Chains A and B, each alone.
Chain A
Amino acid sequence: MNRFDLQTWLPAIVLGVLVAAISVYDRGFLAPSNLITITGDTMTLFLMASGLTFVIMLGSIDLSVQAIASMASCIMAVYISRYGIVAVPFALLGGALAGAFSAIVSTRMRIPTFISTLAVSGVVLSFGYWFSDTRSVNIPAADRDMWLFWITGSFAGIPGEIWVGLVALLVLSALLQLSPFGRLVRGVGAQEQAVVASGINVDRVKFFAYVLSGFMAALAGVVMGARLGSGSPTLANEFLLPAIAAVVVGGTAITGGVGSVWRTFIGALIIQVVRIGMTFVGISVFAQQIVFGALLVAAVAITMDRSKVLVVK
C-alpha cells in the first residue's frame, strides 16, 4: 500500500477499530439510537472543522474559528427574541465577515495566517463580549421551538442537527471536489506559484475559503447555542484544538493540497469516539486535552508532505 492510499483509508480503518474496541466492552454502543446520539453530538465539531478544511487545504490555518463560533452564538441568542429567524443569518453574516477580515489582513498585508487569525480571534472575542454584554445569554424556549426547530427537532427519526451536518457534508464536498473553486483551493495548496503563474487571482480564492471557514464556524456556533439553549462569549473556547485535530486526523495534510470534507467527517467522528472511549476508560474530561494535543502533533507528523517545505520553521 503506498503512502497516498494509506493516508486515504487509515482514518476510516482507525474509526472502525475504535468503534469495534468500544463495542466489545459496551454491547449497547452499536445500538442505532446510541449511534445516532453520537453522530448528533459530533455535528457541531464537524461543522466547524468542515469550513476549516478548505483553509487547511490551502496550506494555511484559521485559529479564530472557536472565537467566531462563540460570537455567532451570542449574536443569535441576543437577537432571536427580537428579530426571530433573522438572527440566524445575522450570526452567519458575522462569521463570514470575520473570515473576510482574516483573509484581507493576511493577503493584503501579507501576514502569515497563523498570526493574522490569532490576532483576529482576539478582535472577534471582544466583539462576542460586546454583543452579549460579557454575560451568557439564554434563548427563551418559545423562540427555540419556533425558530430553531430545524436543529433541535427531528425528521424521520433523525435529529435536525444531523440533517444540517449531512447537507453541509454534501454541499461542501461538491464544492471542493466538483466546482472550479474547489479545484483552485486544491491547486493553491499543492503549488501556489503555479496557480499564480497561470493568471489566477489567488487572493480571491483565499478570500472565499476564509469566508467559508468563518461562515461554517458561525453555523457551528448557532447549532451549539441552539442545543445548549444559550449563547456565551466563551461557549466554543475548547473547540479549536478538536477542530484542527478533526481535519488533520481525517487525513488532510496541513501542508495543503491533499484532503477532503468527508475525511474531516471521519476525523470528527474519530475525535468523538476517542472522547467517548476515554470517558469510558475513566480518563477525566480535564485530561482529554492532553490526548488531543498529542493526537494533533502525531497526525500532523504523519500526514504532512515534507517534500514541500525546504525549511521547517
Chain B
Amino acid sequence: MTAGSARTSASAERLRQWAPLLVLAGLCVLIGFFNTNFYSFGNLVRLLNSAAIPIVLCMGATFIILMGSIDLSVEGVVALCAVIASLLVANDVNQVAIGLAAVPVALALGGAMGFANGWLHIKLKTPSFMTTLGMGFVGLGIATAILAGLTVRISDQTFRYLSLGRVFGIPMAVWIALASFIVAYVIQERTRFGRWIYAIGTDEVTARQAGIPIERTRILAFTLAGVFAGMAGVLAAAQFGQGCALIANGRLFTTVAAIVVGGTALSGGVGSVVNSVIGVLIVVVLANGMVLMGIQPYVQQGVQGLLIIAAVALALDRSRLAVVK
C-alpha cells in the first residue's frame, strides 16, 4: 500500500474488509498445526472464556472509536466497578451482602463515570483522550484508596456464578458476553443513536448541519461505554473472586488492540461491533497460541503494541488526515 491509497481498487477494499476474518482463520490453522490441543473442546471453551471480558469491554469502546474519539479510562472504570461490586456482595471486608443487586449498582456506577467522561469532554471542550486519561486515573485512585491497596475476597457463590457457572457446558461469562454483543449490535443497527454515531464519526460538521444532536449523542455513547465497562468489572470480580485495583491491569491495551485489529478505524465512521468481536478473538487466539508455544507472558503486551501499530497503519484512511498530531 502506498501513500496514494485513494486509488485503492474495489477488490483491495473488499480484501481489507475481510482481512480480520482471514487473519483469524490463518492464526487458527497455524496454531492448530503446531499444537493439536488447540482444537480440543476444553481449549475452545478456555478461549471463549478469556474472550468474554474483552468482548464486553469492546462493545462500548467500539462506539467511542466509531465517533473518532477514544476512551482511555477503561481500566479506571473496570477497577472501580469491580471493587465496589465485590464490597457489596458477601466478602471478607464488610458486612454488606446484597448479592446480585450489586450488579445494577456497578452498572450504574460505570454509567455515571462514562457520563462524567462525556460531559466533561463536551462541556469543557477537551479532547477525549485527555479527559478520559484523567478520569481513568481518578477511577483507579478511588479504587485503590477505598481498599488502601488491599484486596477484598468474595465469598458470595451466587455472584461468582455470573462468571463460573456453566450452561450447556459453556461458562456464564461467555453467555453474558454474547448477550452484550446482541445488545450492542441492536443498538448499532436498529436505533437512531447507532446511526448517529456513524454519522458523527464520518463527518461531524455535516452531521451537525443535518440536525443530529452531537452533544447528546456523544455523552450517551460515553455513558454506554461506561455501563459496558461496569459489566466487565462485575465479570472480572466474579471470575477472580476478588476485587482490587490491579484487576484492570492491561485491559485498556487489549481493548484498543482488539478494536483496531478487528478493522475499526481510529479516524471514525468505519467499523462495527462485529469487527470488534473478531478483533478480540484474534488477540485472544494469539495470546493462547503464544502460551501454547511457550513464549514468555511479558512479551504479550509488546506483541499487542506492534499489533496495534500494524492494524492502524493498514486500516487508517490517510487521505482524510491532512495533519497527524
- The residue in chain B whose Cβ has the minimal distance to the Cβ of A196 is B323
Contacts of A37-63 to chain B: CB distance below 8 A: 58-61
Q: Is the CB of A312 within 8 A of B325?
A: no
A118 contacts B by Cβ under 8 Å: yes
B167 contacts A by Cβ under 8 Å: no
Which bucket holds chain B's interface residue count? 35 or more
Q: Is the CB of A109 within 8 A of B325?
A: no
Q: Is the CB of A311 within 8 A of B204?
A: yes
Q: Is the CB of A313 within 8 A of B135?
A: no
B210 contacts A by Cβ under 8 Å: no
A116 contacts B by Cβ under 8 Å: yes
A290→B144 CA distance, assembly (Å): 10
B211 contacts A by Cβ under 8 Å: no
Contacts of A127-167 to chain B: CB distance below 8 A: 127, 129-130, 134
Query: With a CB–CB cut-off of 8 A, which chain A residues contact B303?
Result: 126
A130→B295 CA distance, assembly (Å): 12
B104 contacts A by Cβ under 8 Å: no
Q: Is the CB of A123 within 8 A of B136?
A: no
A134→B69 CA distance, assembly (Å): 34
A286→B253 CA distance, assembly (Å): 23
B318 contacts A by Cβ under 8 Å: yes
A292 contacts B by Cβ under 8 Å: yes
Q: Is the CB of A289 within 8 A of B138?
A: yes
B301 contacts A by Cβ under 8 Å: yes
B309 contacts A by Cβ under 8 Å: yes
A112 touching B324 in the complex, CB below 8 Å, given contacts A122-B301, A294-B138, A296-B130:
yes
Q: Is the CB of B130 within 8 A of A121?
A: no
Q: Is the CB of B140 within 8 A of A126?
A: no
Taken residue by residue from 147 to 180, chain B's Cβ proximity to chain A (1 for < 8 Å, 0 otherwise) reads as: 0110000000000000000000000000000000
A8 contacts B by Cβ under 8 Å: no
A286→B145 CA distance, assembly (Å): 5
Query: With a CB–CB cut-off of 8 A, which chain B residues contact A115?
Result: 70, 256, 260, 266, 308, 312
Instruction: Give chain B nearest CB distance to A191 CB in angstroms.
Output: 10
- The residue in chain B whose Cβ has the minimal distance to the Cβ of A296 is B134
Main secondary structure of the interface of A (DSSP, over half): helix
Which bucket holds chain A's interface residue count? 35 or more
Query: With a CB–CB cut-off of 8 A, which chain B residues contact A106?
Result: 324
A184 contacts B by Cβ under 8 Å: no
A91 contacts B by Cβ under 8 Å: no
Q: Is the CB of A122 within 8 A of B305?
A: yes
A268 contacts B by Cβ under 8 Å: no
Q: Is the CB of A130 within 8 A of B298?
A: yes
A290 touching B141 in the complex, CB below 8 Å, given contacts A123-B302, A123-B305, A301-B124:
yes
B268 contacts A by Cβ under 8 Å: yes
A118→B124 CA distance, assembly (Å): 24
Query: With a CB–CB cut-off of 8 A, which chain B residues contact A59?
Result: 325
| B137 CB contact (under 8 Å) in A293, A311, A313 | A293
A113 touching B133 in the complex, CB below 8 Å, given contacts A122-B305, A284-B145, A312-B126:
no
B127 contacts A by Cβ under 8 Å: yes
Taken residue by residue from 292 to 325, chain B's Cβ proximity to chain A (1 for < 8 Å, 0 otherwise) reads as: 0000101111111110110011001010011111
Query: With a CB–CB cut-off of 8 A, which chain B residues contact A129?
Result: 296, 298-299
Instruction: Give chain A nearest CB distance to B179 CB in angstroms.
Output: 30
- The residue in chain A whose Cβ has the minimal distance to the Cβ of B201 is A313
Q: Is the CB of A297 within 8 A of B131?
A: yes
B125 contacts A by Cβ under 8 Å: yes
| A289 CB contact (under 8 Å) in B120, B126, B137, B260 | B137
Q: Is the CB of A127 within 8 A of B312?
A: no
Contacts of A268-313 to chain B: CB distance below 8 A: 284, 286-294, 296-297, 300-301, 304, 306, 309-313
Q: Is the CB of A61 within 8 A of B299?
A: no
A60→B138 CA distance, assembly (Å): 23
A312→B130 CA distance, assembly (Å): 11
Instruction: Give chain A nearest CB distance to B251 CB in angstroms.
Output: 13
Query: With a CB–CB cut-off of 8 A, which chain A residues contact B68?
Result: 313
A59→B130 CA distance, assembly (Å): 12
Query: With a CB–CB cut-off of 8 A, which chain A residues contact B72?
Result: 114, 118
Query: With a CB–CB cut-off of 8 A, which chain A residues contact B205?
Result: 310-311
Contacts of B168-212 to chain A: CB distance below 8 A: 204-205
A309→B322 CA distance, assembly (Å): 14
Query: With a CB–CB cut-off of 8 A, which chain B residues contact A313?
Result: 67-69, 127-128, 204, 268
A-B contact pairs, 15 of them (CB 8 A): A60-B325, A107-B324, A112-B325, A115-B308, A118-B72, A118-B256, A122-B301, A134-B298, A192-B323, A254-B130, A293-B137, A300-B127, A300-B131, A301-B125, A304-B125
Q: Which residues of A contact B (CB under 8 A)?
A: 58-61, 105-107, 109-116, 118-123, 125-127, 129-130, 134, 192-193, 233, 241, 244, 254, 256, 284, 286-294, 296-297, 300-301, 304, 306, 309-313
**8 extra A-B contacts, CB within 8 A, seeds A287-B145, A296-B133:** A61-B129, A111-B313, A113-B324, A119-B304, A119-B306, A241-B137, A296-B130, A312-B121
